[in-house]
A and B are shown apart, each in its own frame.
Chain A
Amino acid sequence: MFDNEELYVLWKDSSIISRVMDFIGFTDIYMSPLTIVLLILFFINLLVVTLNRVPVMLKRAYLTGELPSFAAAQLKQGKNVAVIASETDGAGLDERLKDFFKEKRWFFREGRGPATYIAVRNRLSPIGFLLFHFSFFLCLIGGLMITYTRFSGNLPLTEGQSFQGDVQQFRVITRDPKIFKRLSPLELYVERVQPVYDREVPTELVVGLQAKFGDDIQRTTLRINEPLHRGAMSVIVERIGVSPLFIVRGPSGKQIDAAYVSLNVLGGQEDVFQFDSDRRYSFNVKFFPDYVKEDGYESTRSIEMKNPAIRLVVGKDTKIIYSGTIRLGESADLGPFTVSFNDIRYWVEFLIVREYGKIPLIAGFIIAGIGLIMRLVFYQKRLRIAIEYEKDKPLLYLDGRSEYFKYSFEDEMAKLVEELEKFLTGKRKG
């Protein structure tokens, strides 16, 4: 919408809409007071409902409270009651029932009424509800800790360069927490940077690194997706670029200035730099890693560093005083002095992050997963069984219900009753 930042700032300062948006913090939506209020309401609601349901869930998991009370007469009236007639006189019937359900890994108990039983599959499933909903609080705690303790900054280092803990060396500090401001001591030294390409696709970026945490020196290789984590600290390779070595010489050939200049030109874009020794000159750079010139048109054959060349446009005050392309080892004649392109190295930009809160966050994830699976995969099924005697022969009445999947359970129950009948009549399988 805006061509440059100044226009945006101009609009921002004068527009009422933008001031209103700033006031409610819409420009930073997830940190805005509105969002925070909604989040707080969400979590209060979650807390109240979940706490409120703790006793219910414990009871549903048969951990507290009494077992349900029912009698054969009640079951008989149900629509989906199954009946099993046993040929025995009923002695030891309850033991056999117990054996059957134990074998099937159902929880089995005598009911409150006489000759009544309940059998429950996945008894503890309701606890999954508590685990899952409480896990949100662990994630919240982790998230808050991360948000309020996070330091992050971008640190560019060229091959051979080191970082001794001086925050001035950061290109930007994107996050500076109000608490836990002090970083634990960290030193870095970049040994080598090697991008790997396969058919123009960057398939790897290998960074040989020495890291010093306090007194402990560690040599490692970082890659994309393979950062260095050490306690609360992470060192992540985020970006890559080239640093050509430019040497400036005066008329007598004496060296005036020399520097590896880290440029952001690998994607084909142009970058500008100046020498501290004379700020009147500005150097505009376009980079060709694998230079070719065809029909007077300059381009790069690939993105690999096979034949590096730099297109240099030098301005002094407002005039262009030089425009030309120099390859590695060549120099540009600017009149009073020359600039030569003597070496090229890679630089990488590290994202250095320090944040606490990983443990509650990951614990939250794991508990959420366990809770979800407990609740939704291993949902509870329950049978009520009552025995009635008719002419000294026992009759078993059974009814059952399942959470969520009432109709599919009908088939499952029919099968279960069939198996139970077989078991009780003694025709055991296997």
Chain B
Amino acid sequence: MLEDILTWSCIYSYTIASILLLSGFVFNKEKLLKIASYIVVPAFAAHTVIFVMRWAATGYFPANSEFENAITGGWFAIGFTVYLFIKNRALTGVALFTVPASLLLLGYGVMKSPDPLPLAASLKSSWLVIHVLFAQLAFGAYAIASGMGLLYVLKDRRMSRDRMSMFYKKIPRLEVIEENMFRFVVYGFIADAIMIVAGAIWAKDLWGNYWGWDPVEVWSLISWLLYGLSIHLKVTLGWKGRRLAWLMIFLLITVIITYWGIDIVVENTRHIFGVTSMPDLMQ
């Protein structure tokens, strides 16, 4: 009951905040952005309560259904945003990306399966917590890097025109955005590596092999390697500026394919992120 109320409050708050952020951005109204942050911060507190309540009620890390994945994933994304907001107000532009994304996630999760389910035997492992936690961290960090890439491109485009609005003036210098973008890429890359390794060690116990060339495994490797490539492009070949920003925006696609695309398109993956209520214990 309380969970329902909190979930719907979160959804409404994120909806309003998304609208405000978008309007503030498009019409250059600082005030709207400010109001949005006053909404996001308490909504995040409610979100935290849902997350903790779920964990306490089921006794396991919330990652057992689309709903729980949405709660957890959204929590990390908004958590990052709030953290950035506290550290440097001007960076709230990232919220334009993470708030609507979390809203969509939550909406999708609520639609699918909000009731807690008993944890299937195959998911009872401490590796699960590590694996999922780092997957969420990686996703959150990559998403923010991508958001910063977007900010970079937008500001860069504005700067090449004549007049800059207050909003763009408030966003940090391009160089700073770029460095922060790279910081999040690095963060995501390390978390991603830990996620893959933890997954491999877990797979050995559950399926008997470290690596099974499952579509989800292959795609997570591809996206990790591409992020690795992007690090090479910056560190060794000196890529920077708009080119690097676009790269970071596009690389997020590979992550999205890994997290959602495969589940939708491929049938024979051993990674099912939704419910696991199958009579055959291993499915």
Chain B: which residue is nearest A350 at the CB level?
B208
CB of B113 closer than 8 Å to a CB of A: no
CA of A198 to CA of B58, assembled, Å: 12
**Interface hit among A85-93, A115-123, A233-241, A336-344:** A233-241
CB of A376 closer than 8 Å to a CB of B: yes
Question: Are A303 and B279 closer than 8 Å at their CB atoms?
Answer: yes
Taken residue by residue from 399 to 422, chain A's Cβ proximity to chain B (1 for < 8 Å, 0 otherwise) reads as 000001111100000000000000
Chain B: which residue is nearest A379 at the CB level?
B186
Chain B: which residue is nearest A129 at the CB level?
B235
B169 contact set on A, CB distance < 8 A: none
Count the A residues whose beta carbon is within 8 Å of the partner chain — how many?
44
Which interface class (under 10, 10 to 19, 20 to 34, 35 or more) fits B?
35 or more
**Interface hit among A184-192, A202-210, A313-321:** A202-210
Of B119, B190, B210, the contact of A372 (CB 8 Å cutoff) = B190
CB of A52 closer than 8 Å to a CB of B: no
B128 to chain A, nearest CB (A): 8
Chain A 26-52 interface residues, beta-carbon cutoff 8 Å to B: 30
Taken residue by residue from 284 to 324, chain A's Cβ proximity to chain B (1 for < 8 Å, 0 otherwise) reads as 00000000000000000001000000000000000000000
Of A201, A238, A240, A407, the contact of B208 (CB 8 Å cutoff) = A238
Given that A199-B117, A407-B176 are known contacts, is A266 also in contact with B280, CB under 8 Å in the complex? Answer: yes
A221 to chain B, nearest CB (A): 13
Question: Are A373 and B119 closer than 8 Å at their CB atoms?
Answer: no
The majority secondary structure among interface residues of chain A is mixed
CB of A225 closer than 8 Å to a CB of B: yes
CA of A37 to CA of B125, assembled, Å: 37
B209 contact set on A, CB distance < 8 A: 152, 353
Question: Are B197 and A224 closer than 8 Å at their CB atoms?
Answer: no
Chain A: which residue is nearest B116 at the CB level?
A199
Chain B: which residue is nearest A348 at the CB level?
B281
* Closest 6 A/B residue pairs (Cβ): A198-B118, A224-B121, A225-B125, A351-B208, A407-B175, A201-B118
Given A146-B210, A199-B118, A369-B194, 4 further pairs, Cβ under 8 A? A203-B118, A203-B121, A236-B205, A369-B193
- Which B residues have a C-beta under 8 Å from some C-beta of A? 117-122, 124-125, 127, 173, 175-176, 179-180, 182-183, 186, 189-190, 193-194, 197, 200-202, 204-211, 213, 235, 276-282
What are 24 of the A-B contact pairs (CB < 8 Å)? A146-B210, A198-B118, A199-B118, A201-B276, A202-B120, A203-B118, A203-B120, A204-B121, A205-B121, A225-B122, A225-B125, A225-B127, A225-B205, A236-B206, A236-B208, A238-B282, A266-B280, A267-B278, A361-B210, A362-B201, A376-B189, A404-B179, A404-B235, A405-B183
